[in-house]
Amino acid sequence: MRVKICGITQPEQSIAIASLGATALGFICVPTSPRYVTIEQIQAAVAQLPSKIDRIGVFANTDITEISQTVVKSGLTGVQLHGDESPEFCYQLRQSLPQVEIIKAMRVRNREHLQTAANYTKFVDTLLLDAYHPQQLGGTGKTLDWQMLQEFSPSCPWFLAGGLTPDNIVDALSQVQPNGIDLSSGVERSPGDKDLDKVALLFQRLGDR
């Protein structure tokens, strides 16, 4: 199972988190986010990462030219769209970045909203289900209704996100079977400052399942 730790801001933490077992690291490219990082900060954070680690840039309602430039300059292997991007936008981004993984984040409010995920599966590689918050795009610490997701089986791989922590991850994965999990605030001391003890505990819990 893929394990993505998102909202990385410090180069030394990126190396440590990768060595603990993360398969993907997420970098927030949204200027209004408390976890925002510049291209230079991403470059520093990925410089010494093993090539097998996925490097995902998180964008929200950003134009394709800017996304493409950031991906190329930062050495990203994936793009996570966390705004109101349409399936058509995802298709256009795919034309611009054919070799890059495209992840569409869905901030899920209810079952009906969940059904719109099907509109994206032809145009993206991966879906990510996050908890809905009216003001914040992610990293809110709010959990999803896992029971609602028990029937969720899209035609592409998907990440479970939204308020996951070392303390609730086993419970979450006993109810739903995602292809990957995504944690941010659940393994932090403060926004962008990861708690390596919590990250280590996460992998311990996953290993004990």
pLDDT band of residue 140 (cuts 50, 70, 90) is low
Q: Compute the distance between CA of residue 53 and CA of residue 171 in angstroms, rounded to an integer.
A: 26
For the chain, what are the domain ranges? 2-208
pLDDT band of residue 134 (cuts 50, 70, 90) is low
Do the Cβ atoms of 44 and 11 come closer than 8 Å? yes
Q: Compute the distance between CA of residue 98 and CA of residue 76 in angstroms, rounded to an integer.
A: 13
Q: Compute the distance between CA of residue 204 and CA of residue 165 in angstroms, rounded to an integer.
A: 12
Structure tokens at 44: 């520093």
Question: Any bridge partners for residue 27, and if so which?
Answer: 57
What pLDDT was estimated at residue 82? 94
Question: Cα 13 vs. chain centroid, distance in angstroms?
Answer: 17
Condensed to tens digits (0 to 9), the pLDDT of residues 175-204 reads: 999 999 999 999 999 999 999 999 999 999
Catalytic residue IDs: 6, 130
133, burial (CB in 10 Å: exposed 0-12, middle 13-18, buried 19+): middle
User: Taking the domain 2-208, which CATH number applies?
Assistant: 3.20.20.70
pLDDT band of residue 104 (cuts 50, 70, 90) is very high
**Is pLDDT at 128 greater than 60 in this prediction?**
yes
pTM here is 0.94
What pLDDT was estimated at residue 57? 98
